[in-house]
Amino acid sequence: MSATHDLVVLGAGSGGYAAALRAAQLGLSVALVERDKLGGTCLHRGCIPTKAILHAAEVADSVRDGAAFGVRAELQQIDAEAMLGYADRVVGGLHRGLSGLISSRGIEVVTGTGRLTTGDQVSVVVDTDDGERTLTGRHTVLATGSAPRSLPGIDIDGTRVITSDHALRLTSLPARAIVLGGGVIGAEFASAWRSLGVEVTVVEALDRLLPTEEPELSRTVHRAFTKRGIHVLTGTPAEHVDVTEQGVTLRAGGTDHTANLLLVAVGRGPVSDGLGYAEAGIELDRGCVVVDDRLTTALPSVRAVGDLVAGPQLAHRGFGHGIFVAEDVAHALDRLPEPPLPPVADHQVPRVTFCDPQVASVGLTEAQAREHHGDAVETITYDLAGVGRAQILQTRGLVKLVRRTDGPIVGVHLVGAGVSELIGEAQLITGWEAYPEDLSGFSHAHPTLDEALGEAALALAGKPLHSHG
């Protein structure tokens, strides 16, 4: 069987389904190929279920710490199976909604494993339950995403040595766990598990947790983790893993660390092997698809989006890629009069880590700003302790603003309970190149954490209100 569409999308994760939905909205005929479930990693094994578990962990902390707020309650039990059921209900509802939306747009969904081929035209050959099928697209989008990575010599067995995929399906929690990797995934699982009563050790090869964030944010999280009883080892590369029937032992930094299980959280790699990309003429760099600034590959009719493209592995980056590609294809097919603007630059994609305390940032770090602008950089750090809402929430944290000297704010960096909800304003600040004077002229509702952004802007504009300067 064969069919021709305006757009064939290989992979129905965040980038793929966004491209399919927008293209269909613009009147293009679309085929969407997926070997698993619509929604991909983010919906089924990433963003959504992990944040559901993290919310359950917050509830556990609220019960455990209620006496500090005059609410006396007793935490009787952590029911891992019930918690998993809660996460599954959230995921299931979103999956049904997405499936209905895709169906209503007239998108043809082809279930099976697709691989890229070339002949007279680029095609996707799909191995389905009913046999092989060929889909030819006037344009094709590669959106096969990413998968958890491991380190040489560390074998994932799914029982004692696991990835985040396995961690999200645990029906019982370990007494002790080692988290190998102190990036976003490692920090989130370490935080959630500790709140759920697990003894946690985090082992990070680099010199700090969350190494891509501002050092001040990393130090704040490290101190908070230590205070919560999480054992953090930085600058400690893994050396060897031994697995027994009783548990697992990780040798790192010359010391053995023993636990019931080891979570390998050392990042994710692109899913591009065995899918025909290189054979079809697509250029790859360490598994990532090489694209230009319009996400076009070495084959002019083939685009790539999301985690396949080197850069931040974030669902909302994939959404942006998918929408852009759909509109650019629609323009090429004379369905849109003007070409869309290129996708948002990677440094302007907001980043959030949902550990306790939360970390959120957008724009340039101070070090990156100095690489771009030399010494013509100013910063201000505002302690959340000066904000009434932070006192109510009993959270510690800070806001750091980075600006070009006498110029706009180029980076916003936050740490503290609930700061993920401030990232929208932060993105507008950097995306629209706001000056501190611009931001300080707006009223920030009292009492909210949002006041911290206003206070930091006031200080950076040279007129601090509740801070010294």
Compute the distance between CA of residue 203 and CA of residue 181 in angstroms, rounded to an integer: 6
Tens digit of pLDDT for each residue in 270-329?
A: 999 999 999 999 999 999 999 999 999 999 999 999 999 999 999 999 999 999 999 999
Q: Is the Cβ–Cβ distance between 403 and 377 less than 8 Å?
A: yes
DSSP state of 199: E
Q: What is the mean pLDDT of residues 219-226?
A: 98
Tens digit of pLDDT for each residue in 160-217?
A: 999 999 999 999 999 999 999 999 999 999 999 999 999 999 999 999 999 999 999 9
pLDDT at position 60, please? Answer: 97
Handedness of CA 410, 207, 422, 93 (dihedral sign): positive
| Cα 108–Cα 111–Cα 115 angle in degrees, nearest 5 | 100
Q: HSE-up of 370 (CA within 13 Å, CB side)?
A: 6
Of 412, 294, 434, 401, nearest in space to 347 by CA: 412
pLDDT at 469 over 60: no
pLDDT band at 468 (very low <50, low <70, confident <90, very high): low
Helix (H) or strand (E) holding 80: helix 80-104
Mean pLDDT computed over every residue of the chain: 95
pLDDT at position 263, please? Answer: 98
In this structure, the dihedral spanned by the alpha carbons of residues 394, 428, 90 and 36, taken in order and rounded to 10 degrees, is -140
pLDDT at position 1, please? Answer: 55
Tokens of 310: 């080197």
pLDDT at position 2, please? Answer: 63
Compute the distance between CA of residue 308 and CA of residue 322 in angstroms, rounded to an integer: 12
Cα–chain-centroid distance for residue 35?
22
The DSSP code sequence of 213-251 is S-HHHHHHHHHHHHHTT-EEE-S--EEEEEE-SS-EEEE
pLDDT at position 278, please? Answer: 95
For CATH 3.50.50.60, the residue range(s) in the chain are 2-146+270-332, 161-266
CATH classification (class only), 161-266: alpha beta
DSSP three-state, residue 186? helix
For CATH 3.30.390.30, the residue range(s) in the chain are 357-460
Question: In CATH, what number does 2-146+270-332 get?
Answer: 3.50.50.60
DSSP three-state, residue 61? helix
Tens digit of pLDDT for each residue in 67-116?
A: 999 999 999 999 999 999 999 999 999 999 999 999 999 999 999 999 99
What phi-psi label fits residue 369: left (phi over 0), alpha (psi between -120 and 50 degrees) or beta? alpha
In this structure, the dihedral spanned by the alpha carbons of residues 303, 307, 308 and 311, taken in order and rounded to 10 degrees, is 90
**Which residues have a catalytic role annotated?**
446
Domain 357-460, CATH number (from 2.40.30.10, 3.30.390.30, 3.40.50.300, 3.40.190.10)? 3.30.390.30
Q: Which of 247-251, 327-331, 383-387, 414-418 has the lowest mean pLDDT?
A: 383-387
Cα dist. 392→65, 387, 395, 432 in Å?
14, 9, 8, 32
